[in-house]
Structure 1
Amino acid sequence: MVPAVGWGVALGVALGAVGWGLLVASLPHSAWGLGGGQATAVATVTVTRGLWSDCATDASGVTSCVPLISLITLPGYLQGSRALAVTAATLGALGVALGGAAGTRRRARAAGGALLLLAALGALAAAGWFAAAVTREFFDPQHGGVRYEPGPGLLLAAGGGALAGVGGGALLASARGRPERPR
């Protein structure tokens, strides 16, 4: 017989899963940074930067993307944000799976909660690092490239990290209490 699942476990797993889903949805998102609409004599172009590609959309809605595959020429914040976001997504998946498995004991729930908290820290660090670098470049008068602003992909990662952190905290809180008796 499987023991009953408490509200803390259900809440922790649900919030952790939603946070992990948002983080995973932010990874391929092409708009972590939004470049302002650059008007030319011919058309207006909107430029976006994601973790994996730079894209440009013209006034007619046609989007053209260039993959960012060279590790040598990429800025450090982009490489670091990639690594942190992918690591956070992996840890989040492990945390949800470990914390939400049927019949898990307190130690497994605590480990799942701790993994979700680590995933939250990684996601928030990735989003914060990307946002800080984009903001610094935006206000730098010497910066000659496109001036990006934080975009929706960045907000997905930050929101996913926050929800994963709350879910991990709920799982950790549900693992506290008196020890379970063996059956």
Structure 2
Amino acid sequence: MDPIVEVVALFLGFLGWVMVGVALPNRYWKTSTVDGNVITTSTIYENLWMSCATDSTGVHNCREFPSLLALNGYIQASRALMITSVVMGAFGLVAALVGVQCSKAAGDNYVLKGRIAGAAGVLFVLQGLCTMVAVSWYAFNITQEFFDPFFPGTKYEIGEGLYIGWCSAMLAIAGGACLMCSCRMGSQEKYPLPHQSRGTVYSGPARTRSVAASTYGRNAYV
């Protein structure tokens, strides 16, 4: 395993985990501006947990969604995927801290450390995929309602929370891929397959007999 690649992968995974923690409670997953006069102009924005509104006078009101079962299916699925992403990222960080070479947690057993680091890379990739699916699914429903001419409700646009989620997913996937590739390259470099020539013996007396037999073959005797 390359220590530099491991450190970079750990940093990317940590940054992706922090950003998914920032994107999850962010209020601006989708926004909509209702234009009117100076008094009635307001901004409505929602996330996975609540709906908020603010007007030009600075009045700010938020209302949490009253029932989980009354929500749309994609919001429930996005909640589950984002929470799963946070949990997988936490386990991935712990495994990466144990599996990197500069850590003393697993001692000098580099085979075990490499396997733990590889598992951390898989967890990072799963974290990124869960985040990517959640924010992309949410954004798909926003765009579908926005371009639907027969949609009767308020039309929203993509908010900053989704962009943070996309960046988090890309960082987590990149960190996990680097960590898995580093572990694979390290195992191939440190544990090459032995190449033995035919008829070669490595023990002391046997090697002497082999050399003697090659020196004094059947043609040497008269």
* CA deviations over 1:83-136 (Å, ceiling 9, x no partner): 111111110111111112224500000000000000000000001000000110
Q: Which moved more, 1:33-42 or 1:84-93?
A: 33-42
Q: Confirm or deny that 1:178 pairs with 2:178.
A: no
In structure 1, the residue matched to 2:84 is: 87
Match of 1:116 among 109, 119, 124: 124
Match of 1:77 among 74, 79, 83: 74
Match of 1:165 among 173, 179, 182: 173
Distance of 2:187 and 2:24 partners within structure 1 = 40
Q: Which moved more, 1:140-149 or 1:24-33?
A: 140-149
In structure 2, the residue matched to 1:135 is: 143
Match of 2:65 among 63, 68, 76: 68
- Bigger-Rg structure (1/2): 2
Match of 2:3 among 2, 6, 13: 6
Q: Tell which has more relative contact order, 1 or 2 (C-alpha 8 A, sep 6+).
A: 1
In structure 2, the residue matched to 1:47 is: 44
How far did 1:5 drift?
7.2
- Code of the aligned partner of 1:97: V
What secondary structure does 2:187 align onto?
A: coil
Distance of 1:32 and 1:151 partners within structure 2 = 4
Distance of 1:143 and 1:76 partners within structure 2 = 18
Distance of 1:38 and 1:113 partners within structure 2 = 47
Distance of 1:80 and 1:25 partners within structure 2 = 19
- Code of the aligned partner of 1:106: G
Distance of 1:66 and 1:40 partners within structure 2 = 24
Runs of at least 5 residues in structure 2 that lack an aligned partner in the other structure: 107-112, 192-222
TM-score (norm 2): 0.75
Equivalent pair of 2:42/2:54 in contact (CA under 8 Å): yes
TM-score (norm 1): 0.90
In structure 2, the residue matched to 1:19 is: 16
How far did 1:42 drift?
3.6
Distance of 1:68 and 1:129 partners within structure 2 = 19
Distance of 1:158 and 1:79 partners within structure 2 = 19
Distance of 1:114 and 1:58 partners within structure 2 = 45
- Count residues in correspondence: 178
In structure 1, the residue matched to 2:195 is: none
Q: Confirm or deny that 1:125 pairs with 2:122.
A: no
Check 1:23–1:56 CA distance in 2 against 1; reply closer, same or farther (3 A cut).
same
Distance of 2:35 and 2:150 partners within structure 1 = 19
Check 1:69–1:14 CA distance in 2 against 1; reply closer, same or farther (3 A cut).
farther
Q: Which runs of 4+ in 1 moved over 6 A?
A: none
The CA RMSD measured in Å over matched residues stands at: 1.9
Equivalent pairs: percent with the same residue?
Answer: 34
Distance of 2:20 and 2:119 partners within structure 1 = 20
* CA deviations over 1:54-81 (Å, ceiling 9, x no partner): 1101112222111114122211111111
- Code of the aligned partner of 1:94: F
